[in-house]
Structures are given as structure tokens and as C-alpha cells.
Structure 1
Amino acid sequence: MFVQERQKKIIDLLEENGRVLVRDLSMRFSVTEDCIRKDLAALEKNSLLKRVYGGAVTERINTHQLKAEQRKDTNVAQKKIIAKKALELIKTGDTIFLDISTVNVELARLLLNKKIKVNVITNMIDIMNLLAAHKYAEMTFIGGTLDFAGDGFIGGLANGLIDKLHFDAAFMGAVGIDIHKNAVYTYKPEDGLTKKKAVDSADKAYILAENEKFMRSGNFLYASLNDFIAVVTEKPLSRQAAKKIKEYRIKNL
């Protein structure tokens, strides 16, 4: 087996399991442990994994990009594709929750151009401002404690109001998703607790996330993957990731 082929298989195993061990790889490929360590070193140099004692784990990034304003101009093409897919999940007469998420800003823009009667509930200021001009949408804005960086309201007051509401569907953002830990992350605990309230108040909850979010982490785990019925991405997940999320009985749209 060529070196490149072996290293490709190592990455496939890592994506599937989240962790690989030098000893197991040595036996699997019938090469020395020193040879495997060299493979891992080469892959780490290309930022494809992170070496740990006895093996390697997936390389995950925490961007600490806290301000919504900083995220609005990133991955715009991908967000538009995700928003278009999400729009198809909304039916006339639905009551939907749009979370603090720059993908949801794109979804709100699409709703403006669609003549569909819908009840929109949101805690994000940008979404409120956009949909104030929607002739067919009934808008409810969730107040609370201003999260200036997130451009919306979170905290106890917001949570208390969400507790009293019911959504046909909630469209949620995430700063990171770890399929091996069954974890969906945001940055702040207060934001995470508000997000979880929205998920719990919805008949159907969807994660709207670019594929790269599957290699990113946040600071607060606000939900498990099996709290959602689907994750909406701009393109299909890798074969390994798609296989893994099926274990949580959720779809990739």
C-alpha cells in the first residue's frame, strides 16, 4: 500500500471514530508503529489531525468569533444555499422560531420574497428588522438580556417567554458540532440555555450549519444531535459523517 493511500485511510478512520491509536493502525496496515507515527506527524503538519499520547484525534477549531457582525460576511454562498433548503421546510400557517444565527438572517431575507402566511418568533434584532416589512408574516419578538455580540436577546426573561410558546419548527444555529460526542455547541452558556428552550418548545428542530461547523467547537454544549430531526448543510456530509449521524436518527438535508 502506498503511503498516501494509507494516510487517506487513516483520515477516513479518524472521521468515522474520532480517534485512532498507533498500536491498532500498526496492526491494521502491517507496518511498524514508528511508520504510523511518521504518518501521523505528516498529517498533523497539514492540519488534518492532532496527535495525542498513543494516537491522534480530529483537529477541531474554536474560532472564538463572538460577534454576529464578524460572521455576517463569512461563507455567504454556503449560508444562502442552506437558507434556500430551510425555506422549503416552512409551510403556510406555520409558527416558526428563528434563532440568533447569521444563516437565519439569510432565511429571513428569503421569507420576505415569499408570499406565505407564517408566524415568525425570533430573538435576533436583524431578523426582526428584516421581517418588519413582511406583509404576510406575523412577528413576535422575544426580549430579555441583550447579547450585544450576538445581536439578540437571551437570558431568564427570554427563556420564560419561550417556555410559554409552541413552535411548529425551530431553526437553530450552531458554532460547532461534534458527531463523536453527540454535541451541538454555542459560545455562551446564557445563549445556550435560551437555544435549548427553543428546541424543547418545537415539534421539529433543525440545525442550520455549514459543513465546516463539523470541525469546529464552541464553549457550551446546548443540545445533542438527537434533539433535532435534521441538520441542513450546503452540501452532503462526508460518507463517514453521514454514517455517524444516522446513529442519532437524524437526516442530512
Structure 2
Amino acid sequence: MTGSLKKPLVFVNRKRFFLDIFGFFRYSASYMLPYERQERILASLQDRRFLKIEDLLRLTGSSLTTLRRDIEQLADGGRVRKSRGGILLTDSVAPEAVDPLYRTRERQNTDEKERIGAAAQAHIAEGDILFLLNGTTTRAVAEQLDPGKRVTIITNGIDIAAALRGKPKAEVILLGGAVDYAHNTLCGPLALKSLEHLHAARLISGAGGITEEKGVTIYPYLVSAYYQNIVRMVSEVILVADRSKLGRNALVQATALEEVDLIITDKVVPPEHLRMFKRHGVRCEQV
């Protein structure tokens, strides 16, 4: 019909279209942070148990050199085992032994945690700005804070923020990020980004495990991505941990023992662990 408008025909090269889409996601994956790539690898291994190198390259969009570095870190942490042409998910340790539920941990050694939490108050002064990271022992520190003490506490712990609700003089700053309900924490790239605008003089942290080989280890995998940033920022690192954390490793390394200034623990600590602390220059306060 004269004067009528006709829409032009658009021919789509389907092969080219899907190649472009695949290329987009590959490009996006190549800009993942190390812990994001490693989380993706571990999540995929939960389903398939074994992944070939070519599968891993497609999955992460990274170079072979970067992939090898990620594999080394996961293998060093005991999460994967290298096999011919790929990697296997480590199954020599039961999942509940590696990462016991937060609600289970909070019911363990409660008397010791209360004493440690009370002793930690001597290291929190009026006007302090400090990091108090997630954990069942650090929550005991928060619960026993003097309500009249004016302090600023930066935390990634959901339970810690809740415990400080009844402390009117405490200013509480929550690190951003995604909620990890399994560990009652906030984690991810937003937490890392928010650290760029914050500063504190002291870090009080719990531990999932403490050994000479791995140093301080923790359960939330994603928290390890910014733990070292905090250690580098502060002038004092204080660990609060009962004796059950000594001589074992949790999921992922947080920092070396040399970075720790003081550990507050209970009275029943084996002599070999006391000697370990002395070798690494860590002061030990037993309560």
C-alpha cells in the first residue's frame, strides 16, 4: 500500500549472537576477584566433584596462570586436591568438622568465652575506634561492653550489632556486603570497598583455629578476602579464643601468627602452645 510503513527485515546470525553473549560473560568473569573465582570453583565442585582444567578455564574466564594460582590457594587450604588434568573436591574431612554451624559453636565453652569477653574490656578504652569481627567469642566481648563507655565499633557481625543495641554510648558501623546467615556475617566486594573509607587503631577478632603452620584460620571463606586489609590498617591485633581453637585449622587462613600482638585465652592451655606464642612474639593473657 502506498504510504504505508514497512518494518525492515532483520536477519540475525544466531551463531554470531550466541558467540557474542558467551564472550560477554567470559569478559565479565575475567574481572572477578580471586575469592569470587574460587567460590565459583567450589560451588561447581559441589555438584560435579571433579573438574577438568578446560572446564575451569571456561568457568572462571581466567588465564591459565591465574587459574593455577587459584588452584594452589585452594589446595593449600585443603579445599581441593589436584588430580591428573583437573581437581577434585577434598572429602577426607567431614563438612561438619570443617565448618560447624554457628549456632553449634555458640553453645560450646560458654563459660570460657564469658571470661575472655570480660578480660577483653581492659583493652577497650574510652574513645576507641576498633574493629570487632564476627564470631561467638567476639560477641561475648560486645555483650560485656560497659554501656557507659563511648566507643566506635566497626563490625561485620550481625549478632555483634544486635548485642550492642543496648549500649547507648557505642557507635556501631556495619561493613556492607551480602548477608551470610550461616556465619551471621556480612561479606563480599562491598565490605572490601567500604574499608577504603574507614580507619581504626585496633582489631579484636576470634579464630576458628590457630596453628603454627597456618597461623590464624577462620570459617567464613569470603571474610578472608578483607581480613588482611584490616590487619594492615590497625596498630594492634588482639585474638580472643578459648583453648579448643588451638592446634586445629578452620576453613581458610586469615593471617600469620606474627601479625598477632595479643591472645586472650583460658587458663588450660597446653605448654607447647604457650611456647608457640612465645616463638612468634605473641603475648598471651590467660583468664
* Residue of structure 2 aligned with 1:234, choices 259, 266, 272: 266
- Residues 17-75 of structure 1, C-alpha deviations (whole Å, 9 max, x = no match): xxxxxxxxxxxxxxxxxxxxxxxxxxxxxxxxxxxxxxxxxxx9982234322211111
Larger Rg over CA atoms: 2
The one-letter code sitting in structure 1 at the alignment partner of 2:141 is L
1:139 equivalenced with 2:146 (yes/no) = no
Cα deviations by residue, 1:56-106 (Å, 9 ceiling, x for unpaired): xxxx99822343222111110010111111111111110011101111111
Deviation at 1:233, TM superposition (A): 0.4
Structural mapping, 1:69-148, within 5 Å:
69-111=103-145, 113-148=146-181
1:98-149 per-residue CA deviation (whole Å, 9 max, x = no partner) reads 10111111111111x4421111111111111121231111111112021111
* 2:235 counterpart of 1:203: yes
Per the alignment, in what secondary structure is the counterpart of residue 228 of structure 2? Answer: helix
Question: Residue 217 of structure 2 aligns to a residue in which SS?
Answer: strand
CA distance 1:65–1:219, change in 2 (3 Å): closer
Pairs within 5 Å for 1:235-250 = 235=267, 237-250=269-282
Letter in 2 for 1:157: L
Higher RCO structure (Cα 8 Å, ≥6 apart)? 1
3-state SS, counterpart of residue 249 of structure 1: coil
Give the superposition deviation at 1:209. Answer: 0.8
Structure 1 stretches of 4+ moved >6 Å: none
| 1:173 equivalent among 184, 206, 212 | 206
Larger displacement relative to structure 2 (60-69 or 154-163): 60-69
Partner of 1:171, secondary structure, is: strand
Aligned counterparts of 2:246 and 2:130: Cα–Cα separation in 1: 25
What corresponds to 2:42 in structure 1?
A: none
Give the unaligned 5+ runs of structure 2: 1-92
* Separation in 1, partners of 2:251, 2:184: 18
Distance of 2:104 and 2:273 partners within structure 1: 28
Q: What do you get for the CA RMSD once the two structures are aligned? A: 2.0
SS at match of 2:229: helix
Secondary structure of 2:130's aligned partner: strand
Q: Residue 151 of structure 1 aligns with which residue?
A: 184
- 1:203-231 per-position Cα deviation (integer Å, ceiling 9, x unaligned): 11111111121122112111001111011
Give the AA of the match of 1:241. Answer: H
Q: Number of paired residues?
A: 192
Give, as a single letter, the amino acid of the residue that structure 2 aligns with 1:250.
V
Q: Shift of residue 184 of structure 1?
A: 1.0
Q: In the alignment, which residue of structure 1 is the partner of 2:34?
A: none
Task: Answer yes or no: is the 8 Å Cα contact 1:99–1:123 preserved in 2.
Answer: yes
Q: CA deviation at 1:164?
A: 2.7
Q: TM-score with structure 2 length normalisation?
A: 0.63
Distance in 2 separating the partners of 1:154 and 1:209? 22
State the percentage of identical aligned residues.
24
* Per-residue CA distance 1:156-198 (angstroms, 9 max, x = gap): 110111233211211111111112x151111243121232222
1:236 is displaced (CA, Å) by: 5.7
